[in-house]
Amino acid sequence: MDAILETPALLLDEARMQRNIARMQGRMDQLGVAFRPHVKTSKCLEVARRQLAAGARGITVSTLKEAEEFFGAGIDDILYAVAIVPNKLNHALKLIRAGLRLTLLVESSAMAQQLAAHGAEHGVCYEALIEIDTDGHRSGVKPDDPVLLEIAAALNGGAHLKGVMTHAGASYDLNTPEALAAMAEQERARCVAAATRLRAAGHACPVVSVGSTPTALSAAHLEDVTEVRAGVYVFFDMVMVDVGVCRVDEVAISVLCTVIGHQQDKGWIITDGGWMAMSRDLGHDHHGYGMVCDADGQPLPELGFGKANQEHGVLQWRGAPDVSVAQRYPVGTSLRVLPNHACATAAQHGQYHVIPQNGGDWQVWPRFSGW
Amino acid sequence: MDAILETPALLLDEARMQRNIARMQGRMDQLGVAFRPHVKTSKCLEVARRQLAAGARGITVSTLKEAEEFFGAGIDDILYAVAIVPNKLNHALKLIRAGLRLTLLVESSAMAQQLAAHGAEHGVCYEALIEIDTDGHRSGVKPDDPVLLEIAAALNGGAHLKGVMTHAGASYDLNTPEALAAMAEQERARCVAAATRLRAAGHACPVVSVGSTPTALSAAHLEDVTEVRAGVYVFFDMVMVDVGVCRVDEVAISVLCTVIGHQQDKGWIITDGGWMAMSRDLGHDHHGYGMVCDADGQPLPELGFGKANQEHGVLQWRGAPDVSVAQRYPVGTSLRVLPNHACATAAQHGQYHVIPQNGGDWQVWPRFSGW
C-alpha cells in the first residue's frame, strides 16, 4: 500500500459505507419516514449520490457552500440546517433564483422578520423551518415557549412556515440502548408537540424533521414525524462506537500513516499522521487521537495515540519500552487510524482514497471544504 | 463588515503581521543568524513573500505539498522538516530534478541507508539534516547517542550530510522569560554539541538549524548556530500569549462570526463560528475555543467560548442569565475570535480576508491545504 499512496492519506472502505447506508435507509423505510442525510460529514458528491440512490429524499447541509456545490451537481432539494443570518441572505437568494428548492432555518422573531422582509423586497418567498430545542443541547426554541408562535406569525409575506426541525445532539453523550431510545422518543415527542401547537394556532406546519445518528438508530417509532436527518452514520467513528450504535469494524474511514521514527526509551513510535491528518477532535477522550490499526485495518490495542503535533503522531507502545518497539514497527511501516469524529477528520483532507475491492484500482473521490 | 463578508471568515490584520515579521527578522539579524521561516502556519504565498522580502533565506515546510506549491511560485530553497519515509522519495526526487534545492530530514540509520540507496539508484545526491532531540519533546536523536554517527556514516553515495536540526517544541509549555531563555540555550547547546561530535568524527556538518517561536524570541545568543526556524510568530495566537512571547493585540488573525441565536435562560449566545471555523485546538485550555472580541477586535472578557459544534459556537455570557444577553448581542451581531493555535485555525480556511488599511479594499489571499 505504501508504494501507492503518499501518507498521510484518508482511506474510505466503500463496502462498509454501503452497508452503513443500507442499514440507515432500511431503518427509515421500516419506520415509514423520509430520510434526508446530512452531507456535512462527507462533503463528497460520490457519497451523496449513493445515499440518494439508496432512497434518500433531498439532503441536509451545514453551509451554503455545501448547498452550492451539491446543487451544482444536480441535487435540488436542500435543507440548510443552521439558523440563517443577514449576511447569508443574498447567497441564499441567488441559489433559489437559480432553481434550488432551499429550505432555511430560523429560531428568533427578529430573524424571521428580516427573512420575510428580504423575501418581500426581492420578490421571493423563503421556505423556513423553526428550530426546536428538544434536549437543551444547543439551539432552538422550546416547544412551549411563546416565541414559537411569534416566529410563526413573523413568517409571512416574503417567507413561509414549512415546519419544525430539531437535532438531539445530547444523544452523543449517552451510551445505553435504553437512554438512547428515551432520547429518541423525547426528540420526537417534543418536536411533534411544537408542530401541534403551531397547527392549533392555525399554521399548516407540514414538515416535522428530527434526527441525529444515535437517535435515528434507536427510535422505537416515529409517529407524526415526516423526515429524519443523520450524517455521521455514513462513515461512523469511534464516538459512535462509544455511544454504542456501531461496531469498530463498521467504521468506514481511516487515516493511513507511516512510521517515521522511534523514541525507544519511551516506547514511542513517531508517525507522519499528526493532528493535521486526524484533527484535534479527541471524541470522548477514550482513544487519544484515534484507534490505531495495522495496514489492513485490524486494531492494535497495544498502541495508544496520546500525543500529536501538526505533522507528527506519537504512538505509545503499551509494552515495556525497549528496542523491540522499533523491531515490531520499523521505519516505513504502514498503520491506519480510525477517527474519533469522522466529520472532523474527513474535513482535514481534500480527497478520499477508496480502497479497491476485488483487486480493482484505487479511486480518488474529491471532497470540498470552506464556506 | 457583515454586509461584505459571509461568515465564518478568517481575517488577517496585515499591519500586525508585518510588525511580527519585522520583529522576528530584526532579532535574527541582531543575533547574526540566517532565518528560515516555517510556512506551515500560513500556507500562503503572499505571506511567505513578505517574510522573504524582510530578509528570510529560504523556507521550512511540513509537507511535500507545501514544497511543491512554494517551489511552483519560485521559492527554490526549501527544508522539509519532517523525517522522510520511503513513500515520499519519488515525490522528493521529482521536485529536485525540477530544480528545487530541497533539504530532507532523517533520524534513523535505516532511513539514511534507504535515502542514500534511492539517490544512488536515481543518480542524485540528497542533501540531508539529522534531526536532534534537544528537549525530549518528540523526534530526533540525542546528541550523545551512538546512532548519530551511524546515521552520518550511512549518508554517503546518494545522500550527503548537510548538518543538524532541532525543534524545542517543549518551549510551548513554558511561560516565564527565564525558563524560555534556558530552553533556548539548551536547544542551542545540545544541537551544537551534536554538530561538534559529527565534525570530530570527520563530517563537515555546515548547517546547525534550531528554532521554535518561543525560543527564537528568547535566546540570549546563538553562537555556532547557522539558522533559525519559526512559524507561528507570523500570526501569533493565544498559546503564544500564554507562553508570554506576544501580547493579545499582536495576534494577527481572527475568525469573524455572527450571532445566530440565544438561549437566554443559560446566558448563551449561539454563533455561526463552530469548531469547523476555529479547529478543535483548545491550546492551553485557558480560553475555550478562543478569545471572543467585538467586530473591531477588542476583547470581550464577559464572553467565554466553552462549547462548539461543527458550525455552531456557544458563547457563555459571564453575567446573570437573563434577557439582556440578547439585547447586548442581538442576532446578526458580528464578533471576532482570536485563535488558540494559528496553524490549526488557519488550516480550516481556504483564504485570508485581509482587513483593509486606510480605507482600501478587502483583499483575499488564498491558502492551500492537504498533502
pLDDT in tens, chain B (371 residues): 434 799 999 999 999 999 999 999 999 999 999 999 999 999 999 999 999 999 999 999 999 999 999 999 999 999 999 999 999 999 999 999 999 999 999 999 999 999 999 999 999 999 999 999 999 999 999 999 999 999 999 999 999 999 999 999 999 999 999 999 999 999 999 999 999 999 999 999 999 999 999 999 999 999 999 999 999 999 999 999 999 999 999 999 999 999 999 999 999 999 999 999 999 999 999 999 999 999 999 999 999 999 999 999 999 998 887 778 999 999 999 999 999 999 999 999 999 999 988 888 999 999 999 99
Separation of alpha carbons B237 and B228, rounded Å: 20
Contacts of A280 in chain B (CB under 8 A): 279-282, 344
B312 near A CB under 8 A = yes
Q: Is B7 within the bounds of a domain?
A: no
Is residue A126 scored above 90 in pLDDT? Answer: yes
| Cis preceding linkage at B301, omega within 30 | no
Same domain, A157 and A212: yes
Same domain, A301 and A205: no
Model confidence band, residue A322 (pLDDT cutoffs 50, 70, 90): confident
Q: Is B344 within the bounds of a domain?
A: yes
B171 close to B243: Cβ distance less than 8 angstroms? yes
The 10s digit of each residue's pLDDT in A65-124 is 999 999 999 999 999 999 999 999 999 999 999 999 999 999 999 999 999 999 999 999
SS3 (DSSP) at A261: strand
Contacts of B107 in chain A (CB under 8 A): 260-261
pLDDT at A1: 43
Cross-chain Cβ contact B331/A6 below 8 Å: no
A347 near B CB under 8 A = yes
The 10s digit of each residue's pLDDT in A258-313 is 999 999 999 999 999 999 999 999 999 999 999 999 999 999 999 999 999 999 99
Domain count, chain B: 2
Same domain, B211 and B256: no
A88 near B CB under 8 A = yes
A310 near B CB under 8 A = yes
Q: Is A6 within the bounds of a domain?
A: no
Domain end point (choices B232, B261, B277): B232
Cross-chain Cβ contact B332/A259 below 8 Å: no
A369 near B CB under 8 A = yes
> Pick from B40, B87, B261: which is nearest to A2 by CB?
B87
Sequence-distant (6+) residues with CB within 8 A of A130 are A105, A106, A107, A141, A148, A151, A152, A161, A163, A164, A165, A194, A198
Q: Is B289 within the bounds of a domain?
A: yes
B108 near A CB under 8 A = yes
Sequence-distant (6+) residues with CB within 8 A of B49 are none
pLDDT at A3: 47
Q: Is A59 within the bounds of a domain?
A: yes
CATH label of the domain that carries residue B159: 3.20.20.10
Nearest to A228, CA basis, from A14, A26, A20, A63: A26
Cross-chain Cβ contact A331/B62 below 8 Å: no
CATH label of the domain that carries residue A274: 2.40.37.20
Q: Is B323 within the bounds of a domain?
A: yes
Same domain, B93 and B167: yes
B91 near A CB under 8 A = yes
Same domain, A75 and A192: yes
> Pick from A3, A139, A311: which is nearest to B270 by CB?
A139
Rounded to a whole number of angstroms, the distance from the CA of A124 to the nearest CA of chain B is 20
Rounded to a whole number of angstroms, the distance from the CA of A258 to the nearest CA of chain B is 7
Q: Is A29 within the bounds of a domain?
A: yes
Same domain, A118 and A173: yes
Same domain, A212 and A112: yes
Same domain, B351 and B315: yes
Same domain, A273 and A195: no
Same domain, A203 and A270: no
B258 near A CB under 8 A = yes
Partner A, chain B 178-217, Cβ-Cβ below 8 Å: none
Same domain, B289 and B218: no
Same domain, B147 and B263: no
B219 close to B184: Cβ distance less than 8 angstroms? yes
Task: Identify any residues that bridge with A309 across adjacent strands, giving them in sequence order.
Answer: none
Contacts of A3 in chain B (CB under 8 A): 87
Domain end point (choices B232, B267, B287): B232
Domain end point (choices B232, B258, B284): B232
Separation of alpha carbons A240 and A226, rounded Å: 25
Domain range holding A308?
A: 247-366
Q: Is B303 within the bounds of a domain?
A: yes
Model confidence band, residue A22 (pLDDT cutoffs 50, 70, 90): very high
